[in-house]
């Protein structure tokens, strides 16, 4: 088995996929982003998650982006491949491909739109884990998928070999703390998937933050996570306050619309984004630009 997910910690960027205006992938831009993140102290990268526009990349592009990120990182930091799908067979196929490419772990979002039951979620993840021998991280983001994986189901899945973590993007810290307590006697770890509350969940025992904000403020987000992991509440809060404006405004429209516009404004990527997502609406541009200036990233 490859690197155990519990060794993956800290600030984990859910990396955007840079594109040209025509929507084609900007491979040189992708390479530059990976190098920048390593230089800025990002601890791990999620390749082709929701923020990476997984839903509009073809299967070939999906695996090619994962392969390129793994190649450029060259084992300097762990790479987590986004391999979730609302078809169990497709998720198995993507996860198998990620393992062959050399990913350190796979991140699997709950099946969206078809709204499986809790038993369906359990069987979906159990089947993937039994089919592909790679560390697997569950991903619960009910606001985006239309399905909520309950803590009881997560705790049940913690007994399945290969399932080593969960990205909790509910933004509900008390619920996250309950989950941490429920997983106390297991080897399964929790990662926050909500930038605004991540530092609090890490202080409560989570291992890191799978982050959108880290795309534009990688160094500060790395420092926030390290302070929280060191149980330095005052420092984690102080650092988080520096980027709290970004946590809010980067979700003024559907992710990754604002974060891709912000990175373009910073000179890091081009303007490309794929339909049905569209470039950031005019009324949000000045406030986002001000937030970038206020947090010192431009």
CATH number of the domain that 219 lies in? 3.20.20.70
pLDDT tens string 202-238: 999 999 999 999 999 999 999 999 999 999 999 999 9
Rounded Cα distance between 68 and 62, Å, is 10
Of 5 and 1, the structure prediction assigns the larger pLDDT to 5
167 given a catalytic annotation: yes
Catalytic residue among 112, 125, 139, 191: 139
How wide is the angle at C-alpha 99 spanned by C-alphas 95 and 101, nearest 5°?
115
293 given a catalytic annotation: no
Give domain status of residue 289, yes or no.
no
- Residues whose CB falls within 8 Å of the CB of residue 76, separated by 6 or more in sequence, listed in order: 38
- Residues whose CB falls within 8 Å of the CB of residue 152, separated by 6 or more in sequence, listed in order: 118, 182
Q: Which residues are annotated as a binding site for pyruvate?
A: 51, 210
Q: Which residues are annotated as a binding site?
A: 51, 210
**Domain extent at residue 95:** 5-232
What pTM was computed for the model? 0.97
Give domain status of residue 216, yes or no.
yes
Look at residue 184 and give its three-state secondary structure: coil
Give domain status of residue 27, yes or no.
yes
Pairing of strands 105-109, 136-140: parallel
Which strand (E) or helix (H) includes residue 97? Answer: helix 88-101
In the chain, % of residues over pLDDT 70: 98
Give domain status of residue 38, yes or no.
yes
Rounded Cα distance between 11 and 27, Å, is 23
So what's the pLDDT on residue 89? 98
Give domain status of residue 114, yes or no.
yes
Q: What is the mean pLDDT of residues 18-31?
A: 98
The residue to which tokens 């330095």 are assigned: 232
pLDDT confidence of 103, banded at 50, 70, 90? very high
Give domain status of residue 281, yes or no.
no
Residue 246 contacts residue 217 (beta carbons within 8 Å)? yes
So what's the pLDDT on residue 28? 98
pLDDT confidence of 267, banded at 50, 70, 90? very high
Catalytic residue among 99, 167, 260, 268: 167
pLDDT tens string 119-175: 999 999 999 999 999 999 999 999 999 999 999 999 999 999 999 999 999 999 999
Give domain status of residue 266, yes or no.
no
If one counts the domains in the chain, the total is 1
Residue 1 pLDDT exceeds 80: no
Give domain status of residue 253, yes or no.
no
């Amino acid at each position: 088995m490859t690197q155990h997910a519990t060794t993956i910690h800290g600030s984990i960027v859910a990396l955007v996929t840079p594109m040209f205006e025509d929507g084609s992938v900007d491979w040189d831009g992708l390479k530059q982003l990976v190098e920048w993140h390593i230089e800025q102290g990002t601890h791990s990268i999620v390749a082709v998650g929701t923020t990476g526009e997984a839903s509009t990349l073809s299967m070939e592009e999906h695996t090619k982006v994962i392969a390129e990120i793994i190649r450029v990182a060259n084992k300097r930091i762990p790479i987590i491949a986004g391999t979730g799908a609302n078809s169990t067979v497709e998720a198995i196929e993507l996860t198998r491909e990620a393992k062959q490419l050399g990913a350190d772990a796979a991140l699997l979002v709950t099946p969206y739109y078809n709204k499986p039951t809790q038993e369906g979620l359990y069987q979906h993840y159990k089947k993937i884990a039994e089919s592909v021998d790679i560390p697997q991280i569950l991903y619960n983001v009910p606001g985006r998928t239309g399905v909520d994986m309950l803590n009881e189901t997560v705790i049940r899945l913690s007994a399945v070999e290969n399932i080593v973590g969960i990205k909790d993007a509910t933004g509900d810290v008390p619920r996250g703390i309950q989950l941490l307590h429920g997983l106390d006697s297991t080897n399964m770890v929790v990662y926050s998937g909500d930038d605004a509350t991540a530092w609090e969940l890490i202080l409560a025992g989570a291992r890191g933050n799978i982050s959108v904000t880290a795309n534009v403020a990688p160094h500060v987000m790395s420092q926030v996570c390290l302070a929280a992991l060191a149980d330095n509440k005052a420092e984690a809060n102080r650092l988080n306050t520096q980027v709290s404006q970004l946590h809010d405004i980067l979700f003024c429209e559907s992710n990754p619309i604002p974060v891709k516009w912000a990175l373009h404004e910073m000179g890091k990527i081009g303007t490309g984004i794929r339909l049905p997502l569209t470039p950031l609406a005019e009324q949000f541009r000045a406030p986002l630009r001000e937030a970038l200036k206020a947090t010192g990233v431009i």
